[in-house]
Chain A
């Protein structure tokens, strides 16, 4: 099980600049669909990568689905040398993304975020409109039902106004 509280607190308390995207962002906006990991776009500055490394080190990140014993090191050099990381940690699964299809990186996504307060910490989450846009841009069949739900949520919210 992924402990969303622990992961969000670790990132936020560690001062990591990140944006919630994917299933958890969908939950933030009202989705009832089951998601098992945290998807976050992180800012790829040297300082932020250092903060990201520090924030998650104690949870022992490792490549999800990879055989044990690979020479994977959770450090700034590894993150700088890659972009998107699909990880498992002691508190659950997290996808750390340098960029996403249809949205780009942290700096280009920031204008399309809302600040939320959850589990006692402040973090950024993609807006509902942008989340729908990037899921449509990704065009993955597994997302079609999720897009339908998100669009229905948007319509329901409009009706409530």
Chain B
């Protein structure tokens, strides 16, 4: 068996890669590290707010 043959992991990653939004990557690379981390914190806050809203619907 050749060790140079692509692994099934390569095939899986290639399949995921084909679905990526390249424009999102380009946009992210234009930001500074600090801007990316700030965006990440905003995203967390947004996700938490959605979870709260979801819980309220289930309880109500």
Contacts and interface: CB of A to CB of B under 8 A. Distances in A.
Interface in A124-145: 136, 139, 144-145
A24 interface: yes
- Chain B interface helix/strand/loop/mixed: helix
Question: Which of under 10, 10 to 19, 20 to 34, or 35 or more describes the interface residues of B?
Answer: 20 to 34
Contact of B37 (A5, A36, A149, A151): A5
A149 B20 contact: yes
Nearest to A146: B16
B5 interface: no
Contacts, number: 77
B57 interface: no
Contacts of B39: 32
A153 B29 contact: yes
Nearest to A148: B16
Interface residues of A, number: 30
A36 B44 contact: yes
Interface of B: 9, 12-14, 16-17, 20, 22, 24-29, 33-34, 36-37, 39-41, 43-45, 47-48
Given A30-B29, A119-B34, 5 more contacts: A1-B44, A30-B36, A34-B43, A144-B16, A149-B25
